Amino acid sequence: MKTSKITFAVFLFTVIISCSKDQSEVVDPVLVVTPEFDVLIWDETKAFNGPTLLGYDNGSDIKKIIEVQMDGTVSWEYDVQTTQTITDIEYLENGNILFGVKAEGVYEVDKDKNMVWSYTNTTQWHDVDRLANGNTLVTCGTVEILYPYPYAQAPQVKEVDASGNTVWEWYAKDAYLNTPYDTGYVNALYTAAEWRGDWLHLNGAERLANGNTMISIRNFDLVIIVDQNGNVVQEVGSGDPGLPVLATLGLPDDPHNPVLLYDDVTQFSGAWWDDGDMLVSIPWEGRAIVLDTATLNVEWEWPVDGWQGYGEVAFIRDAKPLPNGNILINNASGQLIEVTKSGEVVWKLQIESYPLITQMSDYKASYMIFFKAERYGCGWNLGW
C-alpha cells in the first residue's frame, strides 16, 4: 500500500560544524535534494504513531538530519556539511536534536536550526546519548584505526559535561589487554579486510539506571556492563574474537546497539519483555533479538530465520523498543520498519527506487543510508 510520496528540492544555507563551542559558519547556498519516501505499509491502529528522526547519508559531502511523519511527509530537516557519517541522532526533552558525526564531534541544534552546543571529538564513533544529569555519553574509536593498538591509549567511552570536561571515562585496555584480546588478535584483524583493521569497534554505550554502563564490542562478539569504577561486571555473548560465525546460537554475534529493556508501564504501556532483557541487532544474520541476559535464551527474534525469513531485509543496523511494545528497525535497504511482538509489519517506510538487499552477498557498507533512527517520545530519558 503506497500511502504517501513527497520530494523536495530546496536551496538551503548549509551549516558547517565548527570546532569550537556554540559557533557555526555559513557557506554558499547549495542544492540539497531531500529523498523521496514511500510508505508501503501503515496500520494506524497498531503502529506507535509519531514523527521519526533519521540521519540520511547518500554518499555526498552534504548529510541530512530528517524528521519524517508516518505518511512520509518530511516535516523538518537540517543539513550538515561533512564527508563523515552522522552516526547517532536523538530527540532531547527540551525539543532540541542531539547528533554525532564520526571523527568530528557531538552537536545540539534547536528546531530553528541554531547550534546551541557542541563538543569537538576527533575520535567520535557510533553512539552519543544525553544523560539525565545533563552530561553527554560518547563512544570513541576512530583513534583505533589511526594508531594501531597498543599505541592507542585513548579511552573508548567518555562522559563529558556541558563545558566539554571529561567527568568519567572507560579504557578497554584495562580489561582486555590479555589473550585472546591482545595485540595478537589485533594483528589478525589487520589482515582481515572485513574487520577494517580496528581493535574493538564499539557500536554503542548506554548508561543504565543503576549507574553502570552497557557497551557493545562488535569485534569481540560481546556486550559488557561496567560499573562506575570501570570494572567489567558482566559479559554477554560468545567472547570468541576472530570467529564470529561460530558464536553460540542465539548469543550476540557482531552485536550492534544493545538496549537494556525495562518492564516499566509508565514508559512502556505495551511492554511484553521482562525487566533486564536485552534488545540487540545482529546485522550479519539480518535479525534483531530480545535476549534473556540471565538464561541467554532468545525470547524474541525478527525476522524468524534472519533475513531469509523476510526476503528483503539484510544488515539490520539498529532496533529500538517503542512504548506500545513494537520494535522500530532500520536496515541496509533504505527502510524503516515497525514490527509487533507477533512479527507483523505495521509500518514500513522506504526511499523510493533504493535497491533492496535480498541476500547478504549484495550488502555494501555504502548502502547504510540510515545509520540510526528514533521515533519521537521514545528514549530521551532512557539514554538510547
Type of residue at 233: V
Between CA 374 and CA 96, with CA 137 as vertex, the angle to 5 degrees is: 45
Q: What is the pLDDT of residues 66-102, one digit of tens each?
A: 999 999 999 999 999 898 888 899 999 999 999 999 8
358 or 194: whose pLDDT is higher?
A: 358
In contact, 188 and 177? CB cutoff 8 Å: no
Helix, strand, coil % over all residues of the chain, rounded to 5: 10, 40, 50
214 by DSSP, 3-state: which?
A: strand
C-alpha cell at 101: 558525526
pLDDT at residue 229, rounded to an integer: 96
Q: Which residues touch 176 (CB under 8 Å, ≥6 apart)?
A: 182, 200, 220
Instruction: Identify which has the larger pLDDT, 150 or 290.
Output: 290
What is the SS3 assignment for 226?
A: strand
Q: Which helix (H) or strand (E) holds 55?
A: strand 52-56
Q: What is the largest CA-CA distance in the chain?
A: 57
What sign does the CA torsion over 330, 131, 155, 146 have?
Answer: positive
pTM of the model: 0.83
Give percent of the chain with pLDDT exceeding 70: 71
Measured CA to CA in angstroms, residue 214 lies from 88, 131, 369 at distances of 17, 14, 26
What DSSP character marks residue 156? S
Q: How far is CA 125 from CA 93, 122, 139, 145, 236, in A?
A: 23, 9, 5, 11, 22
Q: Which of 18-22, 57-61, 76-80 has the highest mean pLDDT?
A: 76-80
Q: Which of 143, 173, 139, 144 is nearest to 156 (CA)?
A: 139
So what's the pLDDT on residue 123?
82
Q: Tell me which residue has cell 583513534.
A: 143
- Judged against a pLDDT cut of 70, whether residue 298 lies above it is answered with yes
pLDDT, residue 334, reads: 82
Q: Are the C-beta atoms of residues 331 and 372 closer than 8 Å to each other?
A: no
> What average pLDDT does the structure give for the chain?
78
The region of weakest confidence among 60-69, 93-102, 255-264, 351-360 is 351-360
The more confident residue out of 240 and 325 is 325
For residues 114 and 105, the answer to whether their CB atoms sit within 8 Å is no
Q: Encode pLDDT of 301-348 as tens digits.
A: 998 766 655 656 667 888 999 999 999 998 877 889 999 999 999 999
Residue 367's SS3 state is helix
Position 19 scores a pLDDT of 36
How many other CB atoms sit within 10 Å of the CB of residue 75?
10
Q: Which runs of consecutive H residues, i.e. helices, occur in 41-172?
A: 142-146
pLDDT tens for 100-111 read 998 899 999 999
- Please give the CATH architecture assigned to the domain spanning 5-375: 7 Propeller (2.130)
Per the model's pLDDT, the better-predicted residue between 97 and 378 turns out to be 97
